[in-house]
Structure 1
């Protein structure tokens, strides 16, 4: 039992030397920064297209005389608000 425990501790000690260095961490941050901004720009374009689609849907329902469009307007507004907050949250989370 003691031999297995000693062997396990030796393996843990060896795995500590296999951690990535500072150069690899800088490269990962650089890759994340480049990918994040392209994905972030794509999400803004998609949010714009979906927002326009929602606005046209609400306008159509309003013109057709639908009585209760308040829920649709609120859902449309909070979806847009969520997209803005999500972008700021992701920037703060990744430190970009």
Structure 2
């Protein structure tokens, strides 16, 4: 039994040593991959902001035509969410220097 444990431990150590990689190369590769997705992600956030803005404009217009009293509150919340998406996308892009 002791010999089996020693053999298993040796095999495990050999496999671990064979699969070891350079940590800096892995981190650099991951950084490059994330940076390559940033432009696509930023454009996606801008597109989502545009769709949210259109939906919000339609809802506000409907409330305004129906004569509801909370139109200003609804307009500011929809407009604020669009501005938030655009600002977050721009800040992330400038913060990470992409």
Structure 1 length-normalised TM: 0.68
User: Greater relative contact order (Cα 8 A, min sep 6): structure 1 or 2?
Assistant: 2
Shift >4 Å, 4+ stretches: none
Please give the alpha-carbon distance, in whole angstroms, between the structure 2 residues aligned to 1:76 and 1:95: 29
Unpaired segments ≥5 residues, structure 2: 1-20
Secondary structure in 2 aligned to 1:95?
A: coil
On the 8 A contact 2:56/2:79 being kept in 1, the answer is: no
- Tell me how many residue pairs correspond in the alignment: 79
1:50 aligns with 52
Unpaired segments ≥5 residues, structure 1: 1-17
Task: Note the alpha carbon deviations across 1:51-73, whole angstroms, 9 max, x for none.
Answer: 10010000011011112311111
Q: Which has the larger radius of gyration?
A: 2
| Shift of residue 19, structure 1, vs aligned partner | 6.2
Instruction: State the Cα RMSD in Å.
Output: 2.1
On the 8 A contact 2:60/2:71 being kept in 1, the answer is: yes
